[in-house]
Amino acid sequence: MDHEQELTPGESLRLIETQQAAAQARIDSNPRHYYLPWGVSLMVGFTTMFLYYGPSPGRPILHMPPWLALGVLFTALIAAGVISVGLEIRNRVEVQGGSADRGMMYGFAWLVGQAGSTAISVHFQSYLPGEQRGLLWATLSLAMVSVLYVAGAAVWRQWSMFALGLGVGVVNVLGMQAGPGWHALLVAVLCGGGFLLAGALAGKGAR
């Protein structure tokens, strides 16, 4: 005879809800998979752009073709997006229902946003001088990152994510007014460094 006590339907339901809540809390309390990839991406990509532009027009720190500088920037941004969305989807499968659906839709929002900013940049770059073309690509991409971070903060109720999204938006606008070189430097130091710091603090909180 099986002496193990079977769970009642009510007890089974409570057990499932408890396990889902625990998985949700574990995911929401550790947002490093958003912060660290983007911190590295912004620092590497925009440091390369600063080396290409230099502190003022016509004074590059490191001579390189424009396609190489933009190629490094967009490779870094795309890699960060793929990593963060991939980890989000993997983590969200632990939680059924609405949370998993939100994760999937949020991941597609990144793909649509990146594709849209790229299409806009391709269309309008021919109307701008050389340095302004790179600034167009960079500022549109960062505007997309800022908006989606703020939206993601609303979805997952992450105040640190909300603050980072607003910070990226402010630095992006201020840097745009200062010019391509200073824009790249400000984003690399303030945004890239801010994301890395947030990731480190999130890691300590999770432990």
Give CA–CA dist 126/139, Å, rounded: 16
In a domain, residue 108? The reply is yes
In a domain, residue 19? The reply is no
Residue 51 is predicted with a pLDDT of 95
Q: Which helix (H) or strand (E) holds 58?
A: none
In a domain, residue 11? The reply is no
Residue 161 is predicted with a pLDDT of 87
Contact predicate 47/72, CB 8 Å: no
Full pLDDT tens readout for the chain, 207 residues: 444 456 566 655 565 555 555 545 444 445 677 788 989 999 999 999 999 999 887 889 999 998 899 899 889 988 887 887 777 666 655 555 555 677 677 778 888 888 898 899 999 988 998 788 889 989 998 999 899 889 888 887 888 889 999 999 999 999 999 999 999 999 999 999 999 998 888 766 555
In a domain, residue 102? The reply is yes
In a domain, residue 15? The reply is no
Q: What share of the chain is helix, strand, coil (3-state, %, to 5)?
A: 85, 0, 15
Identity at 164, one-letter amino acid code: L
In a domain, residue 62? The reply is yes
pTM (predicted TM-score): 0.77
Identity at 191, one-letter amino acid code: C
Q: What backbone phi and psi angles, to 5 degrees, belong to 29?
A: -85, 0
Residue 27 is predicted with a pLDDT of 46
Copy the structure tokens of residue 195: 């994301």
Closest alpha carbon to 88 in 69, 72, 73, 109: 109
Copy the structure tokens of residue 184: 């790249």
Give CA–CA dist 122/144, Å, rounded: 16
Residue 59 is predicted with a pLDDT of 86
Q: Which helix (H) or strand (E) holds 199?
A: helix 193-206
Residue 52 is predicted with a pLDDT of 94
In a domain, residue 27? The reply is no
Q: How many CA atoms lie within 13 A of 68 on its CB side?
A: 9
Contact predicate 105/173, CB 8 Å: no
Residue 94 is predicted with a pLDDT of 52
Domain of 179 in residue numbering reads as: 32-206
Q: How far is CA 106 from CA 39, 65, 142, 147, 149, in A?
A: 20, 35, 17, 12, 10
Residue 186 is predicted with a pLDDT of 96
Copy the structure tokens of residue 130: 């050389």
- The count of structural domains within the chain is 1
In a domain, residue 173? The reply is yes
